[in-house]
Amino acid sequence: MRSIVVVAFAASLCAQQTPVILISLDTLRADRLGAYGYKAAKTPNLDRWASEGTVYENAATPVPLTLPAHTALLTSTYPFENGVESNAGTVPKGIFTLASFFHARGYRTGAFVGSIFLEKQLGLDTGFDTYDSPFDFGAFSRLSGEALAAGKAQRDRRPGPLVLRAANQWLTAQTGQPVFAFVHLFDMHKPWAQPSYDAQLTAVDALLGSFRQTMERSGLWDNALIILVADHGEGLGDHGESDHGYFLYESTVHVPLIVHWPKSDVTHPRRVSEPVSLVDVAPTIVDYLKAAKQVAFHGRSILDAAPRPVVTASVYAHDSFGWAPLRALRLGQLKYIEAPREELYDLAADPQEKRNLAATRKADATRMKEQLSKLPSAPTAAPATNRQEALKSLGYIGPGPKPKTATALADPKDRLPILIQYDEALSLMAARRTQAAIAIFRKILIADPGNLLARRDLGVALVELRQFPQAITELRTVVAAAPDDYVTRYELGTALEETQKLPEALDQFRAACQAAPGSGQCQTALKRVQSKLGR
């Protein structure tokens, strides 16, 4: 009899636990919502959510890239702590997640994702009973951070209606159980021309309006804590950046954070101006549920509105192109960007970050730089030094001073024209205008011979045109400096095979398959060359 009473009590306790739904809208700029002051907004549903809950006016992502930002969101740790600093990363095994917290409390936990960048294989599934990610990739490129599908028919995203249908079906099946659901929509993503960014946002807004209606009918809306965020914004041409991940300006760092509280809770403010970070979301949920603080979570509850430093970083320009990594610190309305040419902005007076105050407010810049220096350091220049040595050994650059620190690397601001050229070359490749793309890659390498990504893609383009000897020269250079890049290894293996250099081709395919054990494409090539060699 006693065991029956205990079970009944536990079931009753679970039934009283607050449902929690975390919704992430990929690539959503905060300043494109009416709730954040956008006069041309056509987002009535999201603006209604905002008017009925709490709007955190100055939320920031720790890193403007999909996988690292979501890792930070779900683990409440910074990228420099968890090691996931690019989309080519892998979440450490056994890491404690928000889902782990809920699972331990008897919740049913489910995730429903719209992008290959959050595929289960990458490790964010820890703590989830259900992790719905119907993707499959063969490899990631360490240089570019791109996901490479397992086959040509594979997709890299799932439309929002399908994500929400899966989430609704799961939520319906959990009736009577405490639930934590993570929902990720990837509909707002390049290319923007057809339809435009705002048009895509309006479509997502309509989807979420329907999702709310479904939750209202089930009673979930009135009882749940629902948090809506974005992982990062989008440049849309601001500061010359077309997408995200390269710079740390507000266009890509400032994200919406809107909280819908259970209907019974009317104690929260409508708007909060104090800057906060995505790493603060998980501790906020724990705090709201009146659970013990989780030592694994390094953020701080936003229910405590006291001032806090907000840190953002990006290593994309460094890892892909060999330029300087970037870090930023926000304290109140002041924002400092650590770069070879440092930047300081007063966001209250200059929200578009047009006036760099680093030279005129040196004391503030120095103070914030010193505070950043207390954090684990940004990537060292060792990879860039290695690439310089590799290029020098192959005759691409002459002797000269070697960069010893990150500050000796090129400032991404100064390399923006090269980034624009690189994006143009990729567009030409996609349009199968390979020869025109090759001309741009060569132009880039004249100005920036250490640019491994441009050199790699030049090699790929040469393989496509069957100019194998030239391709081999370029790709060998890249392999010497970036030996773990799958694309380089695979394409070099292809060029070597086509020129009957079979033992060398076998070595490259073996290395490629080691970098991407799940790549069927690579396994097929490896077996083909082994067969040719009689092995």
Three-state DSSP state, 349: coil
For residue 350, what is the domain's CATH number? 3.30.1120.10
Look at residue 527 in the predicted model and tell me its pLDDT. Answer: 95
Look up the domain containing 516 and give its range: 382-532
Instruction: Determine which of 152-161, 286-295, 424-433, 482-491 has the lowest per-residue pLDDT on average.
Output: 152-161
Q: Which two tokens stand for residue 508?
A: 């490259």
**349 plus 306 within the same structural domain:** no
User: pLDDT tens, 435-482?
Assistant: 999 999 999 999 999 999 999 999 999 999 999 999 999 999 999 999
**400 plus 501 within the same structural domain:** yes
> Averaged over 164-175, what is the pLDDT?
97
**247 plus 165 within the same structural domain:** yes
User: pLDDT tens, 202-242?
Assistant: 999 999 999 999 999 999 999 999 999 999 999 999 999 99
**350 plus 423 within the same structural domain:** no
> What is the C-alpha to C-alpha distance for residues 123 and 155, in angstroms, rounded to an integer?
19
Q: Is 85 a member of any domain?
A: yes
Domain boundary residue among 311, 336, 359? 311
Q: Is 160 a member of any domain?
A: yes
Look at residue 154 in the predicted model and tell me its pLDDT. Answer: 53
Quick one: pLDDT band at residue 2, thresholds 50, 70, 90?
A: very low
Q: Which two tokens stand for residue 121?
A: 């294989």
Q: How much is the pTM?
A: 0.90
CB-count burial class (<10 Å; 0-12, 13-18, 19+) for 470: middle
Q: Which residues pair with 55 in a beta bridge?
A: 258, 271
* Mean pLDDT, all residues of the chain: 89
Of 69 and 387, the structure prediction assigns the larger pLDDT to 69
CB count in 10 Å sphere of residue 279: 26
Quick one: pLDDT band at residue 139, thresholds 50, 70, 90?
A: confident
Per-residue pLDDT at 164 exceeds 70? yes
Domain count, the chain: 3
For residue 464, what is the domain's CATH number? 1.25.40.10
Q: Which two tokens stand for residue 447?
A: 């100005």
Q: Is 364 a member of any domain?
A: yes
Look at residue 516 in the predicted model and tell me its pLDDT. Answer: 86
Q: Is 280 a member of any domain?
A: no
Domain boundary residue among 345, 373, 401? 373
**213 plus 64 within the same structural domain:** yes
**184 plus 332 within the same structural domain:** no
Look at residue 408 in the predicted model and tell me its pLDDT. Answer: 84
Per-residue pLDDT at 388 exceeds 80? no
Look at residue 432 in the predicted model and tell me its pLDDT. Answer: 95
Q: Is 286 a member of any domain?
A: no
Look at residue 404 in the predicted model and tell me its pLDDT. Answer: 36
Per-residue pLDDT at 82 exceeds 90? yes
Question: Given strand 179-185, what is the order of strands in its sheet?
Answer: 130-132, 108-112, 179-185, 20-25, 225-229, 257-260, 54-56, 271-272
Of 129 and 535, the structure prediction assigns the larger pLDDT to 129
Per-residue pLDDT at 314 exceeds 70? yes
User: pLDDT tens, 9-28?
Assistant: 333 344 369 999 999 999 99
- What is 463-489 written as a DSSP string? HHTT-HHHHHHHHHHHHHH-TT-HHHH
**386 plus 362 within the same structural domain:** no
Quick one: pLDDT band at residue 146, thresholds 50, 70, 90?
A: confident
Q: Is 449 a member of any domain?
A: yes
> Averaged over 125-135, what is the pLDDT?
95
**390 plus 360 within the same structural domain:** no
**423 plus 506 within the same structural domain:** yes
Quick one: pLDDT band at residue 401, thresholds 50, 70, 90?
A: very low
For residue 200, what is the domain's CATH number? 3.40.720.10
Quick one: pLDDT band at residue 191, thresholds 50, 70, 90?
A: low
Whats the size of the chain, residue-wise? Answer: 535
Look at residue 141 in the predicted model and tell me its pLDDT. Answer: 83
Domain boundary residue among 327, 352, 373? 373
Q: Among 285, 302, 232, 246, which Cα is nearest to 64's?
A: 232
Quick one: pLDDT band at residue 433, thresholds 50, 70, 90?
A: very high
> What is the C-alpha to C-alpha distance for residues 345 and 351, in angstroms, rounded to an integer?
8
Q: Is 294 a member of any domain?
A: no
**412 plus 476 within the same structural domain:** yes
**124 plus 170 within the same structural domain:** yes
Q: Is 284 a member of any domain?
A: no
Look at residue 136 in the predicted model and tell me its pLDDT. Answer: 75
Look at residue 151 in the predicted model and tell me its pLDDT. Answer: 47
**331 plus 463 within the same structural domain:** no
Give, as one character, the DSSP assignment of residue 216: H
